[in-house]
């Protein structure tokens, strides 16, 4: 019997401190999204951490219009547009004024799978096994940049933590600098993980 509780009571403590710790802590947590009158729940199964001292991070070069949300208070959504056509989303972590965030790379639908498959015109793991795929499935775009995850239609719910022995720690995907940093985290053997 899985216990799901609102993370509201845990904000901001739950999302502050060491960003790698928070990225691991977010594994297993629930994203609750209401779209087209349907509320779906998905489990976070893959994350990456980014912070100001990391050359691969958008916040590395300081606060800009694009990264403003990333430097803001934790618990909000940082959405960026990339490769001319894709959106990716992060959960902003760290205290106000600190540029850190956790990229959501893969989610496992807990219900409404057919609904999400229809939205994506894909089946099975292809619906949410990548950072831009999950944004497409959930209809997340620039309008959600800065959204407070305490509130509908997009909420973060906390669960019991994933045990350390079930968490795989490895290098991040798709970056050209600081490629050796071990800042990607995923739930071992989960089929929705974007890349082994």
Under the criterion CB under 7 A, does residue 84 sit at the interface with DNA?
A: yes
Kindly tell me the burial class for residue 165, based on how many C-beta atoms sit within 10 Å of its own C-beta (0-12, 13-18, 19 or more). exposed
Site string for DNA, 29-68 (x = CB under 7 A): -------------------x-x-----xxxx-x--xxxx-
> Which one, 18 or 126, has the nearer CB to DNA?
126
Least distance between DNA and beta carbon 27 (Å): 16
Answer yes or no: are the C-beta atoms of 32 and 159 closer than 8 Å.
no
Whole-angstrom CA distances from 191 to 11, 28, 43, 138, 196 are 29, 14, 12, 19, 10
Pick from 2, 37, 83, 97: which binds DNA (CB under 7 A)? 83
User: Would you give the binding string for DNA spanning residues 150-189, x where CB under 7 A is met?
Assistant: ----------------------xxxxxx------------
Minimum separation from the CB atom of position 30 to DNA (A): 20
Binding residue for DNA, selected from 85, 97, 164, 180, defined by CB under 7 A:
85
Count of residues near DNA by CB under 7 A:
39
Q: Tell me the two tokens of residue 85.
A: 């056509």
**Contact between 140 and DNA per CB under 7 A:** no
CB atoms within 10 A of CB 53: 10
Return the structure tokens found at 53. 């001292």
Smaller CB separation from DNA, 20 or 48: 48
Q: What b/e sequence results for 64-95 when a residue is b if at least 16 CB atoms lie within 10 Å of its CB, and e otherwise? A: eeebebbbbbbbbbbbbeeeeeebbbbbbbbe
Instruction: Considering only residues 99 through 128, tell me which ones interact with DNA, judged by CB under 7 A.
Output: 101, 103, 120, 122, 126
In 73-194, the DSSP E strands lie at 77-82, 86-92, 101-109, 154-158, 167-170, 184-187
Contact positions vs DNA (CB under 7 A): 48, 50, 56-59, 61, 64-67, 70, 78, 80-86, 88, 90, 101, 103, 120, 122, 126, 130-133, 136, 172-177, 194
């Amino acid at each position: 019997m899985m216990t799901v509780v609102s993370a509201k009571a845990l904000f901001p403590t739950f999302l502050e401190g060491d960003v790698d710790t928070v990225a691991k802590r977010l594994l297993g947590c629930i994203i609750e999204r209401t779209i087209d009158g349907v509320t779906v729940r998905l489990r976070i199964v893959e994350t990456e951490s980014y912070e100001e001292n990391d050359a691969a991070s958008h916040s590395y070069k300081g606060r800009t219009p694009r990264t403003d949300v990333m430097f803001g208070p934790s618990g909000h959504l940082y959405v960026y547009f990339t490769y001319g056509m894709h959106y990716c989303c992060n959960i902003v972590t760290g205290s106000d004024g600190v540029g850190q965030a956790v990229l959501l790379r893969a989610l496992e639908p807990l219900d409404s799978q057919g609904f999400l498959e229809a939205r994506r015109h894909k089946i099975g793991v292809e619906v949410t096994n990548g950072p831009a795929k999950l944004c497409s499935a959930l209809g997340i775009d620039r309008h959600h940049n800065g959204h407070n995850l305490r509130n509908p239609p997009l909420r973060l719910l906390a669960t019991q933590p994933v045990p350390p022995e079930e968490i795989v720690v490895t290098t991040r995907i798709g970056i050209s600098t600081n490629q050796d940093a071990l800042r990607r985290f995923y739930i071992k053997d989960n089929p929705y993980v974007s890349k082994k």
